[in-house]
Amino acid sequence: MPAPDLSLSTTVGPLRLKNPFLLASGPPSASGDQIRHAFRLGWAGAVTKTMVPDSMEVRDVSPRFAAWKGPGAGLLGFENIELLSHHDEAYWVREIAAVRQEFPDHALIASIMASPDPAEWQALAGTMQDAGADAVELNVSCPHGMPECGAGAAMGQHPEIVRDVTRAVRLVTRVPLIVKLTPNVTDIVPVAEAAVAGGADILAAINTVQCLMGIDLDTLEPLPAVAGAGTYGGYSGPAVKPIGLRVISQIAQKLPVPLMGIGGISRWQDAAEYIAAGASAVQVCTEVMWGGAGIIRDMNTGLSGYLAQKHFADTGALRGCALPRIGTHAALSRDTVSFATAGFLDRCIACGRCVTACRDGGYNAVSLENRQVVIDRTRCDGCGLCSQVCPEGVIVMQERRRGHGR
């Protein structure tokens, strides 16, 4: 296998990575063999499936996944009610040591979770550090199952608890300390600040979003149904990328802390967006479950090509480039407005979607004449709805300064 392009090398705080792509904690990193497979394919690092003290029982149910699929069975959103690693501490001690010996130039991060007792977190972190983990990630963000016993997001939703458990682990660790944050809070910034105050070197965001995937209208059972019953789960997949981008950018604007972006990353373009929003690297889970770990090849190739096209020397040059453009609603320009125009009439299939959308959800500015789109500039308010519903990209928005005519 050829070495990854040097332009993709990056640093995340104290960690040095061959490229910005890591397996996130989850089913794709549930065993040492899966992690080895991913490293051979070109992933720069992996976060183990979250491990717990041997005293904490982990019993999964079946089935535990549900998916929202688009045309051609493409994934839009994914729910899981899966719990944590089934392997005991001794297994992970052996595997971390073995994988580190086989792949010394890859980042192997131990994800851990424990009860609210800081001593349990300290003991587990120390064990995995001694086994050879390059970093420890604190999972204070799982939204299902574990909060019922006071762990996971039940801890991560309280800044003072996040600060205290981070501080406790910081006291016993020499390796970089990562805190994985939950999006299931009103304001992410106080939680992020608490993690940094506790000694976190890196923040990772987001974990899954609490959800209820759906209801089977034949059986009236929630999805996924376990013996006819269900519960709230963790939502991931492409649909959560806007939430992840929002969280990463909010933290990046407030805190000078290295960030790993997670959530809805299925293509290199998604990774580039996270980096532009302030992340130094990204973690991927659901898309690997859906398409296999081999997706890393296209991700590496695509991102490398993009950086070259945009004349960025490396991923660090892209980091945070979008942040100066993300601000408050009040700060947005009222001097420049847009209007809809039929920019590519040759593509028009006269489906009428734009007409219906503008009539019932806009300003009744769009019509069809001789099976072609016509836009009344005197009615157009520039909302952009017609351009969003057009399946062929016929309608485009053009910018003008207010007062310069229509």
Please identify which residue in the block is written with the tokens 């157009």: 380
Packed helices 296-309 and 32-41: angle between N→C axes, nearest 10 degrees: 40
How far is residue 232 from each of residues 116, 143, 146, 187, 209, measured CA to CA in Å?
A: 22, 8, 12, 21, 10
- CA-CA distance, 80 to 73, in Å (whole number)? 18
Which 3 state secondary structure label does DSSP give 339? strand
- CA-CA distance, 184 to 1, in Å (whole number)? 40
Which 3 state secondary structure label does DSSP give 317? helix
Whether 142 is catalytic: yes
Which tokens hold the place of 357?
Answer: 């959308």
Rg (CA), the chain: 24
Which residues fall within 8 angstroms of residue 302, CB to CB, at 6 or more apart?
A: 267, 268, 269
How far is residue 309 from each of residues 89, 188, 302, 359, measured CA to CA in Å?
A: 46, 34, 10, 41
Q: Pairing mode, if any, of strands 202-205 and 259-262?
A: parallel
- CA-CA distance, 74 to 201, in Å (whole number)? 37
Q: Which of 233, 305, 285 is nearest to 66 (CA)?
A: 233
- CA-CA distance, 83 to 103, in Å (whole number)? 28
Helix segments in 57-177, DSSP class H: 89-102, 118-131, 153-156, 159-170
Q: What share of the chain is helix, strand, coil (3-state, %, to 5)?
A: 35, 20, 40
Q: Is there a contact between 136 and 96 (Cβ–Cβ < 8 Å)? A: no
Q: Which amino acids are annotated catalytic?
A: 142
